[in-house]
Amino acid sequence: MSDILATLTSPVILFFVLGALASFARSDLNVPESVSKGMSLYLMAAIGLKGGVEVAAAGPEPQMLATGLAGVVLSFSLPFTGYFLLRRVGGLDSCNAGAVSAHYGSVSVVTFVTGVAVLQGNGAAPAGWMVAVLALMETPAIIAGLLLARGSLVGLGKTGNAEGRGEHSVWREVLLNGPVVLLVGAFLIGVLAGEDGFAPLSFFFNDLFRGVLCLFLLDMGLLAARRLREAQSLTVPLALLAVVLPIVNAAVALPVCMMIGLSGGTAAAFLILCASASYIAVPAAMRLALPQSDAGLYLAMSLAITFPFNIILGIPLYVWAVQMLG
């Protein structure tokens, strides 16, 4: 219970709550877009670098390979559960159900970064190679979502939009998504540089990290609350599913952690990945591949409901679940 309370009262979480409350109160508090993008670049570079340095120090591990494989399988499989619930409970058509389900199989980098910061604050830092697992889990869910929406691989890359962008544009958006490219690139730089190469950068990428994360989550709180206020196609069943789906995904991932033998912090980070919902890479891909799907709906669910739920309540819940099972 003390760990849950410590998580809920962490400045990282409270800054997100502050941003959301300010937005709901119609405050003029605002973070300039250029500053927000700069903080995002910093966070991706920092988490990638530190993960790479840890891998360089520890060397490759069998658990890393097993967790990476499990992550790919779950990323591809979880959208099928989401699709079924979105069709039966949410009442969505196949196109929108496929588009939304892809978000709940893929991962949220910011949720992961926040979870890692919370775990480190609680003295349960996950393995650095979890950054590589995150990168592996980005794409399979997009493929599964498109298969569910269209029923086959036929026309997988044909967007049908006015600009006529085809297969190359879709796969470029999926595989060369900016945050993931920076995260993976920084991870590889960290592996090559090692602890000695990282030491001169430690103050900038290590000591300042939590402060920048607090300000970034303040901006994310403002954005999430704004999206929720603007949501028009969001029904009560869909809003409930935006909370249920991450819990279901975490429940599916928990026995996988036990089979692999992941330690507390790493197991919690894996649950956070499986429970998160993408609101950057997948929306970009869906705009190209499924332009007829409702962008307002999947952004409202993933960004305005699932993201705040995971940040405020989900992360403590997943950490508690790992602790209860030892």
pLDDT (tens digit, 9 = 90+) per residue, 20-51?
899 889 898 988 988 888 887 888 788 778 87
Query: Which percentage of the chain shows pLDDT scores above 90?
Result: 27
Instruction: Report the alpha-carbon distance of residue 109 to residue 179 in Å, rounded.
Output: 8
Q: Residue 134 and residue 112: Cα distance in Å, rounded?
A: 8
Confidence of residue 285 (pLDDT cuts 50, 70, 90): confident
The letter for the amino acid at 99 is A
CA distance 179 to 55: 20
Residue 242's pLDDT is what?
95
Q: Which of 278, 314, 305, 304 is nearest to 100 (CA)?
A: 278
Collect all residues with Cβ–Cβ distance below 8 Å to 210 and sequence separation of at least 6.
Answer: 11, 12, 117, 121
Mean pLDDT of 126-137: 85
> How many Å apart are CA 105 and CA 189, to the nearest integer?
28
Single pTM value for the model = 0.77
Convert the pLDDT of each residue in 192-239 to its tens digit.
988 889 889 888 988 888 888 888 888 878 887 887 787 777 899 999
Which tokens is 197 given?
């190469």
Confidence of residue 153 (pLDDT cuts 50, 70, 90): very low
Task: With beta carbons less than 8 A apart as the criterion, state whether 169 and 77 touch.
Answer: no
The domain made up of 2-31+59-165+213-324 has a fold known as Na+/H+ antiporter like fold (1.20.1530)
The 8-class DSSP code of residue 125 comes to: P
pLDDT of 3 over the 90 cut: no
The stretch 147-154 carries a mean pLDDT of 65
Higher pLDDT, 59 or 141: 141
Q: Report pLDDT for 51.
A: 77
Give me the percent of the chain exceeding a pLDDT of 70: 87
Q: Give the containing element (helix H, strand E) for 89.
A: none
Q: Cα separation of 270 and 60, whole Å? A: 18
Nearest to 307 by CA among 111, 77, 70, 101: 111
Q: What is the mean pLDDT of the chain?
A: 83
Has residue 164 got a pLDDT over 60? no
Size (the chain), residues: 326
Judged against a pLDDT cut of 70, whether residue 53 lies above it is answered with: yes
Q: Are 127 and 267 in contact (CB under 8 A)?
A: no
Higher pLDDT, 233 or 6: 233
Q: What's the rounded Cα separation, in Å, for the pair 49 and 190? A: 4
The reported pLDDT for the residue numbered 179 is 65
What per-residue confidence (pLDDT) applies to 280?
Answer: 72
